[in-house]
Structure 1
Amino acid sequence: MGLNLLLSTNHIVIHSYSPVADFLLVVMCLLALLLIRQTFIKQSRTFRIFKSCFALLFIAAVSNIAFYYADLFSRQNTLLWILRAVYHISLLSLFCLYIAYLKILIVFPKNIGRKYTFLSFAILVVTGVADLASPLTGWGFHQDHYGIWYENILSTPFMVGYLLYLAVILFLLVCYRRRLPTALFHMLIFTETVCGLIVVMEAAMNTTSFLATTYFLPLLVVLYMLHANAYDPKTGALGSTSLDEYLRQQRQTAQDTYYLCLRFDMDFEYVMTEEMGKLFYSFWTDYFRKGMLFNPSTSFFVLAVDSHNVPDATERAVSLIKKVFQKYYEEYKLPYKLVLFDHLDFCENLEQFYEVFNYFSEKVAQNSYRVFGEEDYQTYKEMHYIKSQLKDIAEHGSLDDERVLVYCQPVRNVHTGTYDTAESLMRLRLPQTGLVFPDRFIPLAEKYGYIHRLSMIILNKTCRQIKQMQDEGYQISRVSVNLSVEELGEKDFMEEFKSIVRAAGIDFHTIAVEFTESQNDTEYELVQECVSEFKQLGVCTYLDDFGTGYSNFDRILSLKLDVVKFDRSLLLMADQDANSRFMLDYFSTAFERLGYKVLYEGVETDAQEELCIISHADYLQGYKFSKPIPIEELPRFLTRG
């Protein structure tokens, strides 16, 4: 800063410095920090460093303004020295953080990164200490032999540090330019060059009015090119990154938030028109002026409202949908689903938010809305917990996982009157929920691709139990395990199946596999191929759930399975209706003549048992004989050899 002396008062008079630039810089830093907060930019490590740069720049500008007015109205030498030191060290520290930011952005190898970290901190420490000691050394801001404060801006520790840092930054940008986006590299080089010219011109004029401002320009470039996430002018909405950060902040602050989610359910990517975008924005803001609107994907919108500001959010939302939204739907005819919910304390990122919405939206009819409450959240939480456990079981990979239990249901042989076969069934026992039944976890396992690992665990435990029962002298013909069509296409499925059975030390004919009927040609061909391989091994094959939905008789016969299991629904209908009883007898007779064994599921009464026997039953299974039991209890139904 250019300083002239007023000898009559022993006071520093600043002729060439103007605080206007620093006042403007303070406003710009505050504005940048507010913009960052309003756009919910993701708070990564690099961005936290970036925000700290703005904070240091703000401190530097304020301290320089304070120095100017302290010089005008005060003769406190210590205060002037402190303010000057704060100004210089803040700017040097900002350079240090800027290099740390570039180091992460460029992604140096660790050994090279440590060298630049050491170098940047060394420059900061050496020049900072020298700047603090300048009143004693006479190098920099000091008093001359008249007791008058003096500073030559071309020869100060701060300026040495400034030039060193600038040289390091330019070297990093040029040397590692291929690791940066080309447009970013060119903009940073241009900006640093402009900043250097500003400093040289100011030094020539013996002033530093715009020195701190030169730090703001590179930060502005980085903010715009790497971190900008502006509002969409068409809809007034923020993007996916902002919603992700908003959810994280809401979770951290335990903020009670109400969410209105709208998805347009179309088979193509919908691009909203300008007119509809403005209409869409006003649609929300008329009812929720303090809400935050997000547009994380083309056809998905989320309005987040602070529940404390809008205690009657549900009533307002329902009123909005009935009075306004339905009117617009009649005009534009865009298929939609509206989901309303509150208290997402368990949702901390966008991925989980999508999962919550998709879970709720499955329960909503098209072109309608639904408000979800506490019971729905609890159901979702349980589902989410079960899913996480299934994922852990699949990734853990142990065939002896204690969370997967084998239950079984004994099957009665009509011809011998004994129980010599059984069906193995799957259960989970999880730490938080206890025993979990298949209807709660099988659909999840099939949907997310975890079913194969569960099947292999059940197969392994079933085979080991068969071996143990055989060693103890029990008569057991076979135990069946269920396989889904999807897992038959798993790589090395048959090899894995064979290795598990062989490792247990049992014959292949003591294990059976059950399939459900294939729904398309691809599935049918896959099942047909696997059935052929199983037969070569001596594995008995079952068709499960015959009679549910559409059954292709020709396909079933061409598979050449061993046992057909009639679904319980057929038995219930035959028990009440003469036509259904005729169909039951017709199919059972046909299968018997073609050499298939027939097994009836769901037998609960004596009358049903008698009906099954009349209808050519070979095996009976149901609560009349036994409920599903742990497979370890199966021996009490068996006979010893």
Structure 2
Amino acid sequence: MYSNIGDIFTIIVCIVLFFVLHMTYVQKNKRLMFIKLALCNLIYASTFNMIFNHYIEKLPIASHKDIMITYLTHNIVQISLIIELGLFIFYIYDLVNYHNKISNAFIIVLTAVFSILELTSIKTHVGFYINDEKAYQYGITNIFLVWYIIFLSIFTITIISKNRVIINKIYFTVGITFFISILIMFFQYIKNIETFTNFTFLLPIMVIIFIFHSNSYNTNFGALDRTALANSINDLKKKNKSFAFVYIKIPNFNEIATDNKTTQDYKQFTKYMQYRNYLFRYNDDTFVMTFDNDFDYELMEKLFNDLHSKYQMSHNVIIILNNNICNTLVDYIDLCEDIEKQANSSFYILNNDDLINFSKILKIKKELEDIANQKNFNDERVLVYCQPILDTKLNKFTTAESLMRLKLNGLGIIYPDVFIPLAEKNNNIHILTCIILNKVCKFIEKNPEITRISVNFSMYEITNPKFYHDIYNIISKYHFDLNKLGFEITETVEAKDFDIINDTLQRFRNLGIKIYLDDFGTGYSNIEHITKIPIDIIKFDRSLVISSGQSEKSKYIVSNMSDIFYNTNYNILYEGIEDNNDEHRCMGMNAEYLQGYKYSKPIPIEELSKFINQQP
């Protein structure tokens, strides 16, 4: 028994879904291709299934031509559904990151074999065929049903054995959907109904699209999420379309987000600006719009100023015109965030100099990623500079602080204030630390006359469980007294990380390594943490050196702080010494070590030998 309502419904829904997937900013990946192919297959299968059932009804009086059309349409339907199941398997393989050439080839071969069996059944009578009495029947088996059972087995085994990415709730939802589809198929089989066969394939596709390929949409503003924005940018770049990227930052936007006036003002804004594209919400306070390159910038600035007056809320608007420097959403957002820190205006249009500077940043990021991937502790792009430190008791340069530089082709020497934030943001800082440490250890081993060289570490780097192991593996390759090595840290530790950092530093200190507290006097310093962390030397920041020279009150405070640390057996180092006045003043405040441009700027580590044990 058959009714074409199921196939008509399936065709309509497939066309709508295909159109939605094509028009919205879903990620253009392999899985989306499988979904689109599956929708096309279902449209073919449903269309020809209606034709097939029309001719099946005419079989008792069918002509030879009618019989051949029956065979042809049946083969198209069955092969389409056989391919459909193959596409489902490939989708699941890609979803769970199971990329095995043999398994892929096996599925292709199985799909081909069952398709051939279906095509040749007219002669072999293995599956569907029409007998001499012009009645259809199945020979040995229903070929498609066998393939369906094999598919269910492969699907179940793959999900259970290979799934590492699907969370349980989604796993359960997809499983229930397939279970419902199987029940419908089983119900049809026992009742001899074929109305909803193709719908059973559409049902899991609809669920998969909703879960894995839908966009988060805000009905108040028509705002899509950052995933949709990334896909939109990729799509525009791929099609080589010219556009302007408009970055809009409205701090505390959530305070007015639910106000109906806000929605009305947004609609008025889009009307005046003749904006017909989507609004994208990158995060709570950041929105993005994509305009044609020649839109009215002055009108936009006026409208934003009007909104500012109305709501008394600050805003930053940054416009990036079409360019070949930014290629991804990450590039656009990074550039806007950098400009936002520097721009003096709430409305800023990027100029060519901004893009040239950012192209340099992108090159540095690429080099940092390559350095991290290479994991070469002797990488020539990472340079060690050192600033000599004066021992005030001996009046000689006995120690030094190591500092980092990058030397990149086409860019020259890059300073830490440029590349350190990039390395920290992209998780490349640890490999740089390891490279510097390795080169410092190599230098100390070759120059045993030096008392000590210190290396800077990030507190957050120390919280990594692999930190101690990585660092110990480097220093254990070299043969020198480890008290010739110092580790500099900044006191920015959070309470939850304190025990981890304290334990790690104590383990290094037990090896003989000296621990420095760097930048004391900047920000908020927790005295409790300072007294509990195993610190040997406290480095008073340049800001305290300056402050102590500005007034007697400031000098009194700095001097008394140094007395406290000195009397509790900490060594005192002042950094940022630039002239005789700085030197004289710090000598009167328990200075045991002095560091600064008065003695030497940072120099390549290869030149440090000429300072070792020399007087200033």
CA shift digits 1:528-556 (9 cap, x unpaired): 66665555444334333334345567875
Q: Which residue of 1 aligns with 2:435?
A: 457
- Cα offset, 1:36, TM superposition: 2.1
Q: Distance in 2 between matches of 1:268 and 1:318?
A: 22
- Give the gaps of 5 or more residues in structure 1: 1-17, 69-79, 134-138, 141-150, 202-210
Tell me, what secondary structure is at the counterpart of 1:245? helix
Q: Distance in 1 between matches of 2:20 and 2:140?
A: 31
Shift of the 419–99 alpha-carbon distance from structure 1 to 2, 3 Å rule, reads: same
Which amino acid letter does the alignment assign opposite residue 413 of structure 1? D
Identity between Structure 1 and Structure 2 (%): 25
Residue of 280, 302, 305 corresponding to 1:294: 280
Residue of 106, 112, 118 corresponding to 2:109: 118
Residue of 231, 234, 240 corresponding to 1:245: 231
Shift of the 516–32 alpha-carbon distance from structure 1 to 2, 3 Å rule, reads: closer
Tell me, what secondary structure is at the counterpart of 1:429? strand
Residue of 482, 485, 508 corresponding to 2:459: 485
1:591, 1:598 within 8 Å by CA — same for their partners in 2?
yes
- Is 1:638 aligned with 2:607? no
Q: Distance in 2 between matches of 1:29 and 1:314?
A: 42
Q: Which residue of 2 aligns with 1:437?
A: 415
Residue of 511, 517, 532 corresponding to 1:543: 517
CA shift digits 1:242-291 (9 cap, x unpaired): 43432332232222232334566559899847886576456435523431
Q: Distance in 2 between matches of 1:378 and 1:81?
A: 70
Residue of 616, 620, 640 corresponding to 2:594: 620
Shift of the 285–530 alpha-carbon distance from structure 1 to 2, 3 Å rule, reads: same
Q: Which residue of 1 aligns with 2:295?
A: 312
CA shift digits 1:98-136 (9 cap, x unpaired): 1221222454996676555323223434655889x9xxx
2:42, 2:202 within 8 Å by CA — same for their partners in 1?
no
Q: Distance in 2 between matches of 1:64 and 1:551?
A: 76
1:170, 1:189 within 8 Å by CA — same for their partners in 2?
no
Q: Which residue of 2 aligns with 1:427?
A: 405
2:79, 2:118 within 8 Å by CA — same for their partners in 1?
no
Which amino acid letter does the alignment assign opposite residue 246 of structure 1? S
CA RMSD of superposed structures (Å)? 5.3
- Is 1:224 aligned with 2:206? yes
Which amino acid letter does the alignment assign opposite residue 477 of structure 1? T
Q: Distance in 1 between matches of 2:187 and 2:557?
A: 89
Give the TM-score normalised by the residue count of structure 1. Answer: 0.70
1:337, 1:365 within 8 Å by CA — same for their partners in 2?
no
2:254, 2:285 within 8 Å by CA — same for their partners in 1?
no
- Is 1:41 aligned with 2:26? yes
Q: Distance in 1 between matches of 2:135 and 2:318?
A: 65
Residue of 303, 312, 318 corresponding to 2:289: 303
Tell me, what secondary structure is at the counterpart of 1:407? strand
Shift of the 530–299 alpha-carbon distance from structure 1 to 2, 3 Å rule, reads: closer
- Is 1:165 aligned with 2:144? yes
- Cα offset, 1:437, TM superposition: 1.3
- Cα offset, 1:373, TM superposition: 4.7
- Give the gaps of 5 or more residues in structure 2: 55-65, 124-128, 160-170
CA shift digits 1:335-385 (9 cap, x unpaired): 87655434475666666666566556666899x665445544555554455
Give the TM-score normalised by the residue count of structure 2. Answer: 0.72
- Cα offset, 1:611, TM superposition: 4.5
Q: Distance in 1 between matches of 2:208 and 2:233?
A: 21
Count of aligned pairs between the two proteins? 574
2:454, 2:487 within 8 Å by CA — same for their partners in 1?
yes
- Cα offset, 1:480, TM superposition: 1.9
2:325, 2:355 within 8 Å by CA — same for their partners in 1?
no
Q: Distance in 2 between matches of 1:260 and 1:457?
A: 40
Shift of the 216–564 alpha-carbon distance from structure 1 to 2, 3 Å rule, reads: same
1:338, 1:369 within 8 Å by CA — same for their partners in 2?
yes
- Cα offset, 1:88, TM superposition: 7.2
Q: Distance in 2 between matches of 1:575 and 1:160?
A: 101
Shift of the 168–568 alpha-carbon distance from structure 1 to 2, 3 Å rule, reads: same
- Cα offset, 1:483, TM superposition: 2.8
Q: Which residue of 1 aligns with 2:575?
A: 601
CA shift digits 1:304-350 (9 cap, x unpaired): 33x25xx1253343233223x336635xx7x8765543447566666
Shift of the 511–153 alpha-carbon distance from structure 1 to 2, 3 Å rule, reads: farther
Q: Distance in 2 between matches of 1:527 and 1:187?
A: 53
Shift of the 375–188 alpha-carbon distance from structure 1 to 2, 3 Å rule, reads: farther
